[in-house]
Amino acid sequence: KKNIQVAIDGPASAGKSTVAKILAKKNGFIYCDTGAMYRALTLAAIENNTNMDSEKDLLTLLNQLVISFNQQVDGQHVFLNDRDVTLLIRDNNVTNSVSKVSAYKSIREEMVLRQQKIAESNSIVMDGRDIGTVVLPNASLKIFLVASVTERAERRFKENISKGIDTDFEALKKEISDRDHYDSTRKNSPLVQAEDAILVDTSGLNIEEVVLKIEKLMETAI
């Protein structure tokens, strides 16, 4: 039986993980959140006071870390050496440093190897920035998910309110566009649409509509 690979790339807060999770569940595929892996390394670097200007120190740290996913009743949890870091990796201090950590070549190479290993023996939905271009270049279906910065900031804003977090809308917009800029202009595997990826603009669409759109694309692609 041939394993099916669905690659979903795109800028921050475009809805990649929400959509990827639903698609994986509906199809019985595993889901791999590659951003969570870079976030877990960033969290460990903060906790260990690792010098983030040192690629070598970060790689030494990464080589000591086991980053894994575990499916639980309330969704997928992220583990760093047996410790549940699902919530911690969403902290603002992690979010604001992750792009710096993920820009290093040797860090990316190690992460890509780990991600390819996860994809080896299962049908999978994987989301990130370089899945269609680097991690799974032969994916059955490649989606490039985008939405305007304002729309993405609005979604994050509402999400934060529902969690009881008070955020400044303009600051949120700036954070999102700064991270996009950093991820898109870095030297090593920048965020870019793969030549054979299908562009899906989610502006004005709700989650169900986006899922439906991608499911239609899966039917024809797979």
Binding residues for ATP: 10-18
Helix and strand totals (H; E) in the chain: 9, 8
Rounded-to-integer distance, Cα 180 and Cα 196, Å: 21
| Residue 143 contacts ligand C5P per CB under 6 A | no
Number of residues that bind ligand C5P (CB under 6 A): 13
| Residue 144 contacts ligand C5P per CB under 6 A | no
3-state helix/strand/coil string of 152-171: HHHHHHHHHHHCCCCCCHHH
Rounded-to-integer distance, Cα 34 and Cα 57, Å: 21
| CB-based contact 78:85 (threshold 8 Å) | yes
| Residue 130 contacts ligand C5P per CB under 6 A | yes
Rounded-to-integer distance, Cα 13 and Cα 121, Å: 29
| Residue 128 contacts ligand C5P per CB under 6 A | yes
Residue of the chain from 179, 197, 202, 218 that contacts ligand C5P (CB under 6 A): 179
Rounded-to-integer distance, Cα 85 and Cα 212, Å: 31
Closest to ligand C5P by CB, 10 or 29: 10
φ, ψ for residue 84, nearest 5 deg: -75, 115
Annotated binding-site residues read 10-18
| Residue 129 contacts ligand C5P per CB under 6 A | yes
Spell out, one character per residue from 19 to 58, where the chain touches ligand C5P: x when CB under 6 A holds, - when not: ---------------xx--xx-------------------
Spell out, one character per residue from 77 to 116, where the chain touches ligand C5P: x when CB under 6 A holds, - when not: ---------------------xx--x--------------
Closest to ligand C5P by CB, 128 or 141: 128
Closest to ligand C5P by CB, 98 or 119: 98
Give me the amino acid identity at 92: N
**Count of positions (residues) in the chain:** 222
Longest dimension (CA), the chain: 49
Residues that bind ligand C5P (CB under 6 A): 12, 34-35, 38-39, 98-99, 102, 128-130, 179, 183
